[in-house]
Amino acid sequence: MRKKPDPFVWLTIFSTSIILFFILLPLIEMVAQPSFSSLKEAITDRDVVNSIWLSIYASGLAAIISFVIGTPFAYLIARKTFLGKKFIESVVDLPIMIPHPVVGIALLSVAGRDHWLGQFMHAFGIRIMGSVTGIVLVMVFVGLPFYINTAKAGFETIPNRLEKVSRSLGASMTGTFFRITFPLAWRSMLVGMIMCTARAISEFGAIVIVAYHPMIAPVMIYERFTAYGLKYSQPVAVWLILVSLLLFLLLRIVSLPKQVKA
Amino acid sequence: MIQLNRLRIDLPRFSIQDIDLSIEKGEFFILLGPTGAGKTLVLEAIMGLAPVTSGQIIVAGKDVTHLPPEKRGMGIVYQDYALFPHLTVLKNITYGLRYRKIDEQPTEKNLDRLIDQLNLSHLVDRSIHNLSGGEKQRVSLARSLAVNPSVLLLDEPLSALDPNFREDIRQVLKKLHRELRITFLMVTHDFAEALFLGERIAIINLGKIEQIDPVSRVFQRPATPFVAEFVGMKNIFPATFNKNRAIVDNLELCLQAPAEGRKRYVGIRAEDVSISKIRPSNNGLNVFKGRVSDIIDRGLYYEVSVSTEEVVFRAMLTKSALFEIDPSETKGIYIAIPSSAIHVF
């Protein structure tokens, strides 16, 4: 006798199909709709290439900055318990929750000439408004939590005892980090950087406020959409998606765990 | 070699309370206690891996209380081996060598001898992932011994092993201690391990030390009811004392010597309680009449409870001895306890 499947099984199948359909259909349609010639036209357009390059380059830079400033912090949060740790952790998560335009406005409010930090930066010739610096700054702001949380989770999976033994064998904290922690956690750190880049590349709301020019790809897509319509924005979007997918795929492959030899 | 002076460690939900301990150079010292007694915490504090609230840790005459672990010259071996998963066996073993001064570097020969001693020569190029538990623990031992520590700290080194590997590592530890003549401090919850390996034992419970003594003394002369129970004393009763008599409820036990000082308990090992059908002669024995009230099969022996009118004694009997006394006997049986076996504390 065949067992009758539980209704819940049908529910899970139904829910899976809805989700796949919901996410994939618009994306597939968008990629499929532009004609080959319009795609070719888009990629030979200097402005388009520049904006996609800027998107990739700025978000990559944001990931590297997050790696540099976020790693020691993520390690601290993963390893130590201290008063106010919960508070600090929720502060780090704030950029995920704040509406994107608000992020832009918030950053501009410290970068202006009537703020001491803005004056300070101005004195050194650092400009936030309408500059690549501004774009990268926004991207770090929104991407940092993704790097930190992923790296932290990676550090947490490394047994504390490995580090303790390393110390007992004569290695300092720094030595232990580079000989034990880093080799065991670099994959999570790389995944964290991928997450951070992905988040940064997709940022629009905050960047459009801080820097409309130079134009990152999402801003250009938006501009072409409002000025010329759907047909003109699609090809740029397709190229952005293709280039970023390729990059993420590459990084994912690098970060895959090595097959353990039997 | 190691001296703890009023060592105190306060954690949010647990504390080690003012521990004093002195371990001799070259000694095999055991820190014994149940799970959650704070043994590992004391060990990690000595290594410099746990925060010390107050007190002093002195190793080889030097105050190391505030020294980072890498400057203490000790080794630590954990129950779960804590091998570095990204390094081969040999790279694990040689991990600490670069931190030693050139003139203190072990020669190739010394290192080979250590690897030989631990029977690891055929494994050096292997990844650590598919070693057996026993092999892993031997790598872990080699790794900490390669840097030539003055003290080896062992945190339940046998607990995660299968019984056959456990025996192997137990022998290895005994041999290493004999050959290397360095100080071993081992933490365990297993009294049998302590008995086999240790020279002196400190028994720790709830962050406090209950007794520090040579192994045999702890076994025969436990200082507190907790220790008595921990070392397997089955008969522990609160008692009042009058010269060389101890009164448990209304039962009078004759002691070998009058109890001195403030004693509150008597303890008798189950194996010192004998049972017979006919009344034995009284000389040197405390004899009571009773009835068998319970029998528990312990595998190699039976644990027999005998109720006298006042007290329930527990004795250890082999199967044939149990058969001989005929436990269903309703008229009652006799138990005999030599006064020399009655321990007072």
**Tell me: the pLDDT tens digits for B45-101?**
999 999 999 999 999 999 999 999 999 999 999 999 999 999 999 999 999 999 987
Contacts of B85 in chain A (CB under 8 A): 162, 184
Output the 3-class SS for A98-154: CCHHHHHHHHHHHHCCCCHHHHHHHHCCCCCCCCHHHHHHHHHHHHHHHHHHHHHHH
The pLDDT of residue B331 is 72
Contacts of A175 in chain B (CB under 8 A): 70, 99
Task: Examine the pLDDT at A260 and tell me if it is beyond 60.
Answer: no
The backbone region for A125, taken as left when phi is positive above 0, alpha when psi lies in -120 to 50, beta otherwise, is: left
The pLDDT of residue A262 is 38
Is A118 within 8 Å of A110 (Cβ atoms)? Answer: yes
Q: How far apart are CA B312 and CA A113, in angstroms?
A: 89
The pLDDT of residue B242 is 86
CB contact under 8 A, A164 and B69: yes
Instruction: Please identify which residue in the block is written with the tokens 């297993």.
Output: B190
**Tell me: the pLDDT tens digits for A88-126?**
999 999 999 999 999 999 999 998 888 899 889 888 888
Mean pLDDT of the B173-181 span: 93
Structural domains present in chain B:
2-227 (3.40.50.300), 237-344 (2.40.50.100)
Q: Which of B21, B16, B18, B23 minimizes the C-alpha distance to B6?
A: B18
The pLDDT of residue A251 is 82
**Tell me: the pLDDT tens digits for A15-45?**
999 999 999 999 999 889 999 999 999 999 9
pLDDT-based confidence at A1, cuts 50/70/90? low
CB contact under 8 A, B44 and A260: no
The pLDDT of residue A89 is 94
Q: Is A183 on the interface with B (CB under 8 A)?
A: yes
Cα dihedral: B192, B195, B197, B202 (round 10): 110
Contacts of B40 in chain A (CB under 8 A): none
Q: Which of A175, A180, A261 sits opposite B84 (nearest CB)?
A: A180
Position B58, amino acid: I
Q: Which residues contact B160 (CB under 8 A, 6 or more apart)?
A: B79, B80, B81, B133
| Overall CATH class of domain A36-255 | mainly alpha
The pLDDT of residue B164 is 87
pTM of the complete model: 0.84
Q: Is B220 exposed, middle or buried (0-12, 13-18, 19+ CB in 10 A)?
A: middle
Site from A165, A181, A184 to mutate, B interface, most B CB atoms within 10 angstroms: A165
The pLDDT of residue A261 is 42
Q: Which of B83, B94, B142, B151 minimizes the C-alpha distance to B118?
A: B142
Site from B44, B86, B93, B155 to mutate, A interface, most A CB atoms within 10 angstroms: B86
**Tell me: the pLDDT tens digits for A183-242?**
999 999 999 999 999 999 999 999 999 999 999 999 999 999 999 999 999 999 999 999
Give the gap in angstroms from C-alpha B259 to the nearest C-alpha of chain A. Answer: 48
Termini Cα distance of chain B: 30
Contacts of B74 in chain A (CB under 8 A): 168
CB contact under 8 A, B82 and A165: yes
CB contact under 8 A, A159 and B82: yes
Q: Which of B80, B33, B77, B61 minimizes the C-alpha distance to B203?
A: B33
Position A128, amino acid: I
Q: Is A12 on the interface with B (CB under 8 A)?
A: no
CB contact under 8 A, B84 and A261: no
Average pLDDT, chain A: 92
Q: How far apart are CA A80 and CA B81, in angstroms?
A: 23
Nearest CA in chain B to A173: B70
My answer on whether omega of the bond before B163 falls inside 30° of 0, hence cis, is: no
Task: Examine the pLDDT at B330 and tell me if it is beyond 70.
Answer: no
Instruction: State what percent of residues in chain A have pLDDT above 90.
Output: 76
The pLDDT of residue B93 is 95
Q: What is the pairing mode between strands B265-268 and B245-248? A: unpaired
